[in-house]
A and B are shown apart, each in its own frame.
Chain A
Amino acid sequence: MAEELLRERFEIQGRNFDKAGEVSGEIKVILRDLGLDAGCIRRLVIVSYEGEMNLVMYADRGALTLILTDEDVGLEIVDEGPGIPDIDLALQEGYSTASDEMRELGFGFGMGLPNMRKNSDEFRIESEVGRGTSVFAKVRLNRHD
């Protein structure tokens, strides 16, 4: 059983594009200060940032929890939002339901969820239409890029 070393929860407001990405920037600093491997930090913060952007773009509100154990760094991103009707379709590169406004901000080109999965060692999505989406991701500490 992995030993939990750190758990921190960050509230995220939906549709607040000015602050979008702030939490992931903060997580990068936390993990760097803890002296984690740069490749591992890089993968984790890409997962975090794409997840945070998805939350801000689609959901009303949510939270991102960072969980560090002696084996891996985990993220739980839980939102109150529209949910994803077809998760397999949403994970296909290029598939997107983004609005023009989201694309003008540089996001919503159907690469967010695939990027998150690609950079995770464990990745799982649970979603209920009309209720929200939860993403669980882990990056192992011993993997070096």
Chain B
Amino acid sequence: MTLSEIRDLLECKVLSGEDDLSIDVQQVVASDAMSEILAFAMSKELMITGLTNILSIRTADIAGVAAVLYCRGKSPEKKVIEFARSKGIPMLVTKMGMFEICGLLYSRGLKGVS
């Protein structure tokens, strides 16, 4: 599923990586605990989290995920968005909660990585 399809499905706002929405993701890693992301991400997943501080993007960079999706309408601070842009990490935000997001993506064939 491409990031642009995910954007449309979840009614996301794109905060960074507007030119990278053709990236295709097959797997998802979802958690507010960054060590859990690091433990399970194998690289190139969609990372879903409610944590919007700069460590969310540092973790995304270290774990090598394809993109970050923030849930519950939580938008990160400007410096976090700028950091994501500098690392080339696409960043989306939706008003939906984690459960709803995961349910919708699962029903479209995306899988977890645990």
- In the complex, identify which listed stretch (A3-11, A107-115, A126-134) lies at the interface while the others stay far away: A107-115
> What's the least CB distance linking A97 to chain B, in Å?
14
Q: Would you call the interface of chain A mostly helix, strand, loop, or mixed?
A: helix
| A46-B58 contact in complex given A105-B53, A106-B51, A111-B35, C-beta closer than 8 Å | no
Complex formed: what's the CA distance from A57 to B33 in Å? 15
Task: Indicate whether A106 sits within 8 Å of B55 (C-beta atoms), given known contacts A21-B62, A49-B62.
Answer: yes
How far apart sit A12 and B58, CA to CA, in the bound complex (Å)?
16
Give complex CA distance A14, B62 in Å.
20
Q: A21-B62, A25-B61 are in contact. Are A106 and B33 (CB under 8 A)?
A: yes
Using known A-B contacts A111-B39, A115-B38, determine if residue A25 contacts B62 with beta carbons closer than 8 Å. Answer: yes
Note all chain A residues with C-beta closer than 8 A to B51.
Answer: 105-106
A-B contact count (CB 8 A): 64
Q: Are B62 and A112 in contact (CB under 8 A)?
A: no
Residues of B close to A112: CB separation below 8 A = 35
Q: Which residues of B contact A21 (CB under 8 A)?
A: 54-55, 58-59, 62
Q: Which residues on B sit within 8 Å (CB–CB) of A22?
A: 58
Q: Is A24 close to B, CB under 8 A?
A: yes
In the bound complex, do residue B35 and residue A109 qualify as a contact, i.e. CB atoms below 8 Å apart?
Answer: yes
Is B82 engaged at the interface, CB distance under 8 Å to the other chain?
no
CA–CA, A105 to B35, complex, Å?
Answer: 11
Residues of A at the B interface (CB closer than 8 Å) are: 17-18, 20-22, 24-25, 28, 38, 42, 45-46, 49-50, 53, 105-107, 109, 111-112, 114-115, 118
